[in-house]
Amino acid sequence: MDIERYESRMPLELRGHEMLPPSSEWYPWRGHSVHVARARNSRSAARLLAFHGAGGNVGMLWPMLGRLAARGVDVTALDLPLYGDTVSPRPNAVRYGDWVSLATDFVADERFGDGRPIVIIGASMGGMLAYETAQRTGEVAHVVATCLLDPSDPEAIAAASRLPWVEHLPARVLSAAGRALGGVRIPVRWFAEARRMSRDPELTRACLGDPRGAGAALPLGYLTDFMTFDHWRPESATGTPVTLAHPAADEWTPARLSVRFLQRIAAETHYVSLEKCGHFPVEQPGLAQLLSVVSDVLEDAGA
């Protein structure tokens, strides 16, 4: 996993703190060999599970996760299919629904093997994946999301996409396109406003140049599946608490779109605005706020 690509763009203040390296394991799932990065700590009262978004991978998140591990947190992160070191038998056939099924199966197995509470942090599109996983399993103590991009919200899809007409296409048209052309792979930057991934141009270039991250190509069927995916209705989400820790200066997916979804969730919710942070939250003081939020949630979950 390429951690240094992202570590080199972290604030100097953060790089002055210890970061534990991850160990690698492999989780067999429906023919996929899913890469699992861990920093285990049996003394941690609660565990942290991390999901990246589209264009992400474990290496992107580890500069933050490794610092939490150095503070004593038991950390696990997945390279979701199409990204990082995970190997898939048919990459062109991967769909967003596969991410949801993998995440729910993994959480169920983790809870069976270890009864400690699980907190999930989801970055970017991983925020909705974390929310969905918590609702489907009932095995998650708390969700922390940096974004809650609702595919049923046309304004949210319009913000994320470089194609303004996509928001006007009916779901049946998108589904038909996914069936007909689902195996065609297109670069993330062709479809998404990936140039707005970070306020740091060098970090954005590092992301877009990562062949196992935002530099990879996605099957069209994955994208259409996400845009038509029927997430768990927030009005029926009465269990797991959700904290939205959204970058305040996000020029890709503005905070108001995520807040709009958060306000519909029936369960306990909290909102934290990460000061001066772009979509990839590496700026201070917002990054320190995010680390503090995650630490507090883990402490409450393990109490």
The residue assigned the tokens 């845009």 is 227
Q: How far is CA 143 from CA 18, 135, 157, 212, in A?
A: 25, 10, 22, 26
Domain assignments of the chain as residue spans, ordered by start: 4-302
The residue among 43 and 177 whose pLDDT is bigger is 43
Q: Residue 223: what are its φ and ψ, rounded to 5°?
A: -65, -45
145 and 245 Cβ atoms separated by less than 8 Å: yes
Q: How far is CA 175 from CA 96, 129, 151, 170, in A?
A: 13, 20, 13, 9
3 state SS of 63: helix
Please name which of 66, 9, 205, 231 lies closest in space to residue 133, comparing C-alpha atoms.
231
CATH of 4-302 given 3.60.21.10, 1.10.10.10, 3.40.50.1820, 3.40.50.720: 3.40.50.1820
pLDDT in tens, 3-36: 999 998 888 888 888 999 999 999 999 999 999 9
- Per-residue tokens: 174: 């998108």
pLDDT in tens, 164-211: 545 544 555 556 555 655 667 777 776 666 778 888 999 999 998 999
pTM of the model: 0.93
Angle at 19 between CA 12 and CA 214, to 5 degrees: 75
Check whether 125 has a pLDDT greater than 70. yes
